[in-house]
Structure 1
């Protein structure tokens, strides 16, 4: 049965939320540092009293809507939805890595869709508009340098690099969301005193993602071979999907490397050194993760090769 909670906790949640939005308007990165604390306080309130939670959210919503930037309002929406999602994962006793996956996609989809909606209503410039301005600025700067030094620059290569960057912007929302989701889940685990109430903990070395991800990734790789026949919109979807899938396979690869090193009972120093190398050498780790997804080497090791 849900219970009333001290109003000091409600005041703390409101105060930390407003500080978060204030920091976000001035320093984007510092604002994100407070996200887990706001989510933790609101999640604790939600577990103890639905009524108090929605009252608290309404009180935070008023100054956020009228006193802060649109970025803070989008963050407010993402935080509230994240709290509702995390409450559901805790009640369903999801594992930590499954919770992290759901939270990443929720944050990524909400933030990206919010930006696209704001662009559609011309509240903020579109990616295409920003891209055109950046290309024009770079071209102007290169022309000025060329006129002074007499050197020629490969303008087309720079233009293609800028276009490639803007093509992959949607996928970066999910990459950043993963970092924030991971930070949030880990901080909640630190802040909560009763660890038994949290998600089922699975060691990182035991993280296993579905084999279908490798199949889908391979299918997208085949599609990139027909780049010239794909439309710009389809090509952008393929490339952004590949970036997201690459990160999943990369994390899977890191988990497999750690599992293999522990299975071989190597010294902790060697494990740390090899893991650092694995993090740095992303293409190799990505290949390892892709192969393990297909052939399930961890399962073969555990069953003695069967």
Structure 2
């Protein structure tokens, strides 16, 4: 690991000034992804700005009944928070399905959103990678891509976003609060991460020097239930082959509200807008759920070895929606 300077700022404003003043600077929360990449030589910041002790570690109610989650709230604390478990169970389930207990005790909300979208080639500095070294190529397209993208990928990158938390936040219509040199702004989680296009090195829309300070959840729509499901190669400490966060409201046997997001399929959490459009007003049956999910997955472009992910995602989504519909009828 190359040497670096270290700063522990006393305020958000001080952190942002330091971040804006050095384009190689990185904000350090739990460090569970950043420090690993530094050890591999993928990240080589000249300055680490430790924001872990800023007063951003609270979960509070908003005036409209939603939740405001500070950027340094630990994943394990957020998953166990009573308001999250009660009103946003998909978020709690997503957090508990990620990484390991030790990592969840360290990883932060802001850091989770900012972990790099990556594949093994990105983490191996002896290999070409457009994400790490723009223009060098994407060996994953013809190489080892079983775990990689089937939606929204480009000729330049087929990596998948690893976050479970972000998938749930996308389905729950969360927003990200950013504080930067030009002031504060708000970005929907669904628009925070980018598709690769011609610039796969840019994972998010965050601007130089900007710091995530909070994530805000709107009130859960009345009469809805939520669920997160994940398929992976082993029971813990593994990224999703496919995952789904579903929010469903049913009235008189028909879908009144639906929100659906996939993980493990694309460079960012994939909000399933086509499926949602097909679901609204449809009968709350497995056949209707399957048709809606198929409408979304029609856009999939699997590579040589990962076509199985399309059917896996379909089965996960239909099962999640059917479970929620069954619970709604029983309630």
Q: Fold conserved (TM > 0.5)? A: no
Q: Specify which structure has the higher proportion of helix.
A: 1
- Which has more radius of gyration? 1
Scaled by the length of structure 2, the TM-score of the pair is 0.26
Q: Specify which structure has the higher proportion of strand.
A: 2
Scaled by the length of structure 1, the TM-score of the pair is 0.28
